[in-house]
Structure 1
Amino acid sequence: MKLIFMIGLLALSVRRGLCKSLVLVGGGLDEANGDVWNKVIELAGGVGVARFGVVCAASGDPPDSAAYYIDLLKQYGAASADWIQIDESRKENNEDPATIDLILSQTGFFFSGGDQARVITSFYHFPERIESSALAAIRQVYNAGGLIAGSSAGTACQSANVMINGGLSYEALRYGASSGGYNPNYPDDLSYDEFGGIGMVSGMVLDSHFSTRGREGRLIRLVADTMTGPLGTSLGVGVDEDTALVIYNVGETSQLGEVLGTDGVLFLDLSKSTVSTIGGEWAISNVKSSYLTEGDTYSFNGNKVIGEIFG
């Protein structure tokens, strides 16, 4: 396994100079969306080289989800794709030496959709919320230049900042955000994890299925309610279905986002916003919004649209 791991990292280092990349899909990724699938393969090393670990901890049916993504990744040219068997029913594997070796042999990872809270409970030890050896190994591959890709919940869980758990825009704007977790008595209320996601990117709150489910209100309210807190940030990013935000040079001053796919990505910059209550109702002004579509790019250094730079 160690030899395979070193070969994978060598391929990544020669091709990309060990720069980290993310492909964040808003859910509903069409099997025929070659722009996105080909980018996923490319950034993990390319056709015949890319080796994927498929993480289905968010899914309600991990084996079925794993089989689906393994087949698709191979169809698009992955050299291999393996199910990383860690989820709420297989938590013991997050410290299993064979599983760790399998993780270390990959050049990229694909996180499935489902419920992002399951990713947290599967890859951390509670009640202390200590990172598992498996997540540390995924992070090791990623920090060495490996790719992290995800769809739906697999996107929402990636940020180091507060992680949205659920809620609808009307309830969010009316009642605000709650860090208490999902409340079955109020299933439409906006809830979030104040301790964040798995931390593969920082400086943004991530949301998915964005335009289709009208999530603008809930993302604005979550960012506004939490941006002065320990894991708050002034930037919210909402990714539409069958669309990906590709982030290059993650963590560098040159960090850039490129939009690929059917619809778009909404960037909500609240750094100059003002919150007030008018007649007892919550209100916000000066929210800068930028909606980018296929081929558009965004600089995270200064939070500005820079147009198409990739040809």
Structure 2
Amino acid sequence: MKKNPTRPAMSGHPQGQGRPRTALRAVLLATALLSAGLVTPALAANKARLSTYDHGKPVDYLPCGAYALPTRAAVLMGGGLDVKEAFRWMIERMADCGSGLTGRPGNLLVIRAGGNPAYDSFIYKLGKLAAVQTVVVPTVDAANSTELEGYIRKAGAIWFTGGDQGDYYNFWKGTLLERVLSDHVRTYGIPVGGTSAGMMILSQYAYIASPSTITSAEALADPFKPDAVTIKRDFWTYGTPFEPLSGTVTDSHFDARDRMGRLLTFLARVIGDGWSSAATARAIGVDQETALLMSTTPGSAGAPSVTLRTVANPGVDGAAYLLRAASNSSLVLAPGLPLTFTRVQVRKLPAISAPSTYELNVDGGQLSSSTGSTY
């Protein structure tokens, strides 16, 4: 793995022990000097800067050249152990030029707010890639760095890691990173994806869990709980770059953390706050170690045709859940009152069994299912 030549080289240790020894010594020394009052905090502020890493041999072209991909693709991964099959699918999509043509291996760009480039070697082994590049963007200033544009414009696919979606919102909203990335994905139709928080930031409406997170029981009891039900609609300046996620709110770690109740609450808020109508608002939940693969092609009448498939790690019976309000749903939504939201339709897409549909009802904060099972 090669780091940006203007920066020290980094190790690719899978556990993230990738900090250069010289940099590590500098951090330890700065820490000691800070404790002694001998230096100012500015001298130990490297963590606030943009960091860039290369694994492989980066190229300066897109896999299919200056042409938009005929099939647009997105991966929504629910967190936990990464699903290799989803990455393989994404890598294949980035070089699918249409008409049976396969493009040249390109760059897959990983974007994160903190951490290290441990993802790079893992992804690089999963398909035909020229390089996997990581940019660590931990501040607004870093997200406005002009150095980012070259990485984004040469990316054949883009991946958001897990972490804290509140950081993504606070650091990246309205920056050069967000604007250039959105333009690049829209113009060339390159695949985009993310896991956990990285998945949740892809939808038009994002629950940012800032300053605190919320459980399903808490959300159903008060859909307006202060500082806990924090949904934003302005992360993407021009709307989500993957059109099928317009009007949508998402949630991850779904079954394992019992998040159906809070996702229902998020959907209710999107409708009740007037952001999307009951007819167009959607919600998507994805289980851990599971990924929803979404692809779209232009339809004959101009409306895109969307294909959905769920994949999971071996031995994992994970699923994706698609929620929408029925035409005869009723919604009672007010601060300090438990939620009432009836006739919410759920389409469950398991990875290893047949799809199913059922109905959920919330009455005074109490959730029930037409099948007896929430999931």
Q: Match for 1:103 among 152, 175, 179? A: 152
One-letter amino acid of the counterpart of residue 102, structure 1:
Y
Aligned-partner Cα distance in 2 for 1:133–1:250: 28
1:146 is displaced (CA, Å) by: 0.9
Taking a change above 3 Å as real, the CA distance of residues 228 and 136 of structure 1, as seen in their structure-2 partners, is same
1:234 is displaced (CA, Å) by: 2.6
Taking a change above 3 Å as real, the CA distance of residues 96 and 9 of structure 1, as seen in their structure-2 partners, is farther
The SS at the match of 1:35 is helix
Structure 2 matches for 1:64-143, cutoff 5 A? 64=116, 67-77=117-127, 78-88=129-139, 91-124=140-173, 131-143=174-186
Kindly provide the CA deviation profile for residues 219-256 of structure 1, in whole angstroms up to 9, marking residues without a partner as x. Answer: 10121122143533531110111111111127952123
Q: Match for 2:309 among 233, 258, 275? A: 258
Kindly provide the CA deviation profile for residues 98-155 of structure 1, in whole angstroms up to 9, marking residues without a partner as x. Answer: 221121111111101111111112212xxxxxx2222222122211121111000000
Q: Match for 1:222 among 266, 271, 277? A: 266
Taking a change above 3 Å as real, the CA distance of residues 222 and 7 of structure 1, as seen in their structure-2 partners, is closer
1:258 is displaced (CA, Å) by: 1.7
Aligned-partner Cα distance in 1 for 2:59–2:92: 18
1:4 is displaced (CA, Å) by: 4.7
- Unaligned runs of 5+ residues in structure 2 are 1-57, 97-102, 356-375
Q: Percent sequence identity over matched residues?
A: 21
The SS at the match of 1:170 is helix
| TM-score w.r.t. length of structure 1 | 0.76
The SS at the match of 2:305 is coil
Q: Which residue of 2 aligns with 1:301?
A: none
| TM-score w.r.t. length of structure 2 | 0.64
One-letter amino acid of the counterpart of residue 115, structure 1:
D
1:177 is displaced (CA, Å) by: 3.3
Structure 2 matches for 1:1-311, cutoff 5 A? 4-10=59-65, 13=68, 16-17=69-70, 19-30=71-82, 33-45=83-95, 49-57=105-113, 62-64=114-116, 67-77=117-127, 78-88=129-139, 91-124=140-173, 131-143=174-186, 144-165=188-209, 166-178=213-225, 183=227, 189-195=228-234, 199-200=240-241, 201-232=245-276, 234-249=281-296, 252-261=303-312, 262=316, 263-272=318-327, 273-276=329-332, 281-294=338-351
Aligned-partner Cα distance in 2 for 1:12–1:85: 28
Kindly provide the CA deviation profile for residues 7-54 of structure 1, in whole angstroms up to 9, marking residues without a partner as x. Answer: 4342874xx42x321101000133xx4322211221222797141111
Structure ranking higher on relative contact order (CA contacts 8 Å, 6+ apart): 1
The SS at the match of 1:291 is strand
Taking a change above 3 Å as real, the CA distance of residues 281 and 134 of structure 1, as seen in their structure-2 partners, is closer
Q: Which residue of 2 aligns with 1:308?
A: none
- In the alignment of these two chains, the number of paired residues is 267
Kindly provide the CA deviation profile for residues 283-309 of structure 1, in whole angstroms up to 9, marking residues without a partner as x. Answer: 3221111111127899xxxxxxxxxxx
